[in-house]
């Protein structure tokens, strides 16, 4: 497995005039070629900021405080905006949540796509156009040669999202980040978009990072999951591990709060009570301590280390410490990494 991206201890904050908002407080993870990684969490958990940090799109008053983002052997966290603009759209691409507003309404799709292609490749306009049509076909837009001359408002929501994906793919990036790609779309269109993403990973070996709050999307597409809360990674691992062997109360809470078709008995949905922490004054210990049903005193006082559950599965919960009380389902006594 070739490593495409390695994030080491990423810390990103926003220095507003009211104080420092610590959006990401020390994330570390890796992504390999052809993998689809899902980052799941509530609003404010830091998942979008992680993605924007990787892209170098964190703007004043925010900045990457510390940490490394290793892509293609280089630490891109330190690159200037100008340097990053060479990477964005070419090596790493990103698509966003709302397709209705994410395309410039006064230019044609052709104009927008050719611009991106010619920015990163030395090709003629004709060649760029051909490449654009090719990508539109790849994402399933009918009659791409004709439709490329349309304006964004002439496309439906699903088509616009596909056009965005096509643009993002136009220069064959190694990594595609998708921030809530299906949230604003109908369920049927959702499925189609997710299919496209899966196809990309399989056929072109593109690594994909999907950010979402929807566990269903994760279950459908991802091979690896990261669960974030309060700016920190709570748990990460392969999809089967996370779904069938969750080792963090927050993950368990999330799984319980989603209606599932594979559960026989019709139990109640259990929401997680409380609200997310204030990132200007993050709590000392585990960010989930204020809402955790199994909170211990140490959880409120000491920052939680990362415990290794097994080969690819880690979790940041004090319940995994050898001194913690025995709780059913939790692999107490796991090794500490960190």
Partner 1 sequence: MADNRFVFLDSNLEDAEKVRPSLTYWQDAWRRLKKNKLSMIGVVTIIFVLLFALLGPFFTPFSYSDQDNQYKNLPPVLDIFNVDEDANFYLSSDYNMFRLSDNGRLEERLKNTDKDPINKIYTYIMNVDGVDREVVLDFSYNLLPTKQGYDYDYTITYEGVEYTQPTGNMWNKTYPFGTDDLGRDLLTRIMFGTRISLLVAFIATLVNLFIGVVYGSIAGFEGGRIDDIMMRIVDIINSVPLVLYVILLMVLFNEGGLWNIVIALSTVYWVSMARLVRGQMLSLKEQEFVLAARVIGVPKHKIIFRHLIPNAMGPIIVSMTMMIPSAVFTEAFLSFIGLGVSAPMASLGVLANNALSGLLTYPYLLFFPAMTIAIIILAFNFLGDGLRDALDPRLRKG
Partner 2 sequence: MSNYESYSKGVLYMSGYYARRIVSALITILLISSLTFIMMHAVPGGPFTRERPVPDEILRTLNEKYNLDASYFEQYVDYMKGLVTFDLGPSYSKVGTSVNDLLISGFPISAKIGLMASVLIVVLGIPVGIISALKQNKPIDYLVMFLATVGVTVPSFVMATLIIYFFAGKLNWIPSFGVSDWRGYIGPVLALSGYSLSFVARLTRSSMLEVLQQDYIRTARANGIREFKVIAKHAVKNAMIPVVTYIGPMVAAILTGSFVIEKIFALPGLGRHFIESITNRDYTTIMGMTIVYAVFYIIMIFLVDIAYGFIDPRIKLGKGKA
Across the chain, which distance is largest between two alpha carbons, in Å?
67
Candidates 6, 42, 68, 115: give the one binding partner 2 (CB under 8 A): 115
- Find tokens 């369920």 and name the residue: 187
Residue 273 engages partner 1 in binding (rule: CB under 8 A): yes
- Cis upstream peptide for 61 (omega within 30°): yes
Pairwise CA distance, residues 31 & 26, whole Å? 17
246 by DSSP, 3-state: which?
coil
Annotate each residue in 152-181 with x if it binds partner 2 (CB under 8 A) or - if it does not, as one string. Answer: -xx---------x--xx-------------
Burial, 224: exposed, middle or buried (Cβ in 10 Å; 0-12, 13-18, 19+)? Answer: buried
**Contact partner, 253, from partner 2, partner 1, none, Cβ < 5-8 Å per class:** none
Span of 2-10, 155-163, 168-176, 268-276 interacting with partner 1 by CB under 8 A = 268-276
Our measurement of the distance from residue 177's CA atom to the centroid of its chain's CA atoms, rounded to an integer in Å, reads: 7
Residue 42 engages partner 1 in binding (rule: CB under 8 A): no
* Closest C-alpha among 126, 195, 193, 198 to residue 164: 193
**Contact partner, 290, from partner 1, partner 2, none, Cβ < 5-8 Å per class:** partner 1
**Contact partner, 293, from partner 1, partner 2, none, Cβ < 5-8 Å per class:** partner 1
In whole angstroms, how close is the CB of 56 to partner 2 at the nearest point?
A: 9
Pairwise CA distance, residues 219 & 242, whole Å? 10
Q: What values do phi and psi take at 271, rounded to 5?
A: -75, 160
Pairwise CA distance, residues 308 & 297, whole Å? 22
Candidates 3, 33, 119, 213: give the one binding partner 2 (CB under 8 A): 119
Pairwise CA distance, residues 68 & 9, whole Å? 7
Candidates 146, 259, 273, 328: give the one binding partner 2 (CB under 8 A): 146
Query: Which 89-108 positions form the footprint of partner 2 (CB under 8 A)?
Result: 89-90, 93-94, 96, 98, 101-107
In whole angstroms, how close is the CB of 88 to partner 2 at the nearest point?
A: 4
Name which of 161 and 289 has its Cβ closer to partner 1.
Answer: 289
Annotate each residue in 274-313 with x if it binds partner 1 (CB under 8 A) or - if it does not, as one string. Answer: xxxxx-----------xxxxxxxxx-xxx-----------
Annotate each residue in 72-91 with x if it binds partner 2 (CB under 8 A) or - if it does not, as one string. Answer: ---------xx--xxxxxx-
Q: Are 174 and 4 in contact (CB under 8 A)?
A: yes
Q: Are 170 and 111 in contact (CB under 8 A)?
A: no
Q: Are 31 and 43 in contact (CB under 8 A)?
A: no
Residue 324 engages partner 1 in binding (rule: CB under 8 A): yes
Q: What values do phi and psi take at 56, rounded to 5?
A: 75, 25
Name which of 123 and 331 has its Cβ closer to partner 2.
Answer: 123
In whole angstroms, how close is the CB of 320 to partner 1 at the nearest point?
A: 11
* Closest C-alpha among 320, 313, 336 to residue 237: 313
Residues that bind partner 2 (CB under 8 A): 55, 57, 81-82, 85-90, 93-94, 96, 98, 101-107, 115-116, 119-120, 143, 146-147, 149-151, 153-154, 164, 167-168
Chain positions contacting partner 1, by CB under 8 A: 273-278, 290-298, 300-302, 318, 321, 323-325
């Amino acid at each position: 497995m070739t490593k495409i991206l390695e994030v080491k201890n990423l810390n990103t904050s926003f220095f507003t005039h009211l104080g420092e908002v610590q959006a990401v407080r020390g994330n570390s993870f890796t992504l390999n070629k052809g993998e689809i990684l899902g980052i799941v969490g509530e609003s404010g958990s830091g998942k979008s900021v992680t993605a924007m940090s990787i892209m170098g799109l964190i703007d004043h008053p925010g900045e990457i405080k510390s940490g490394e983002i290793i892509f293609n052997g280089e630490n891109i966290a330190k690159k200037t905006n100008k340097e990053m603009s060479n990477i964005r759209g070419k090596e790493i691409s990103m698509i966003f949540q709302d397709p209705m507003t994410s395309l410039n309404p006064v230019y044609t799709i052709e104009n927008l796509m050719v611009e991106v292609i010619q920015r990163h490749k030395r090709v003629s306009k004709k060649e760029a156009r051909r490449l654009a049509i090719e990508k539109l076909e790849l994402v399933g837009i009918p009659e791409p040669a004709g439709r490329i001359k349309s304006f964004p408002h002439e496309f439906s929501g699903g088509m616009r999202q596909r056009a965005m994906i096509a643009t993002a793919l136009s220069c064959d990036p190694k990594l595609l980040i998708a921030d809530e790609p299906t949230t604003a779309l109908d369920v049927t269109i959702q499925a189609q978009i997710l299919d496209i993403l899966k196809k990309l990973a399989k056929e072109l070996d593109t690594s994909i990072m999907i950010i979402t709050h929807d566990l269903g999307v994760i279950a459908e597409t991802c091979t690896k999951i990261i669960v974030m809360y309060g700016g920190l990674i709570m748990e990460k691992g392969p999809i089967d591990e996370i779904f069938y062997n969750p080792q963090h109360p927050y993950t368990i809470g999330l799984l319980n709060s989603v209606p599932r078709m594979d559960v026989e008995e019709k139990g109640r949905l259990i929401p997680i009570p409380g609200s997310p922490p204030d990132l200007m004054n993050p709590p000392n210990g585990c960010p989930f301590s204020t809402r955790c049903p199994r909170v211990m005193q140490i959880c409120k006082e000491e920052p939680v280390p990362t415990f290794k559950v097994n080969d690819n599965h880690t979790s940041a919960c004090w319940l995994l410490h050898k001194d913690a009380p025995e709780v059913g389902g939790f692999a107490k006594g796991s090794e500490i990494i960190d």
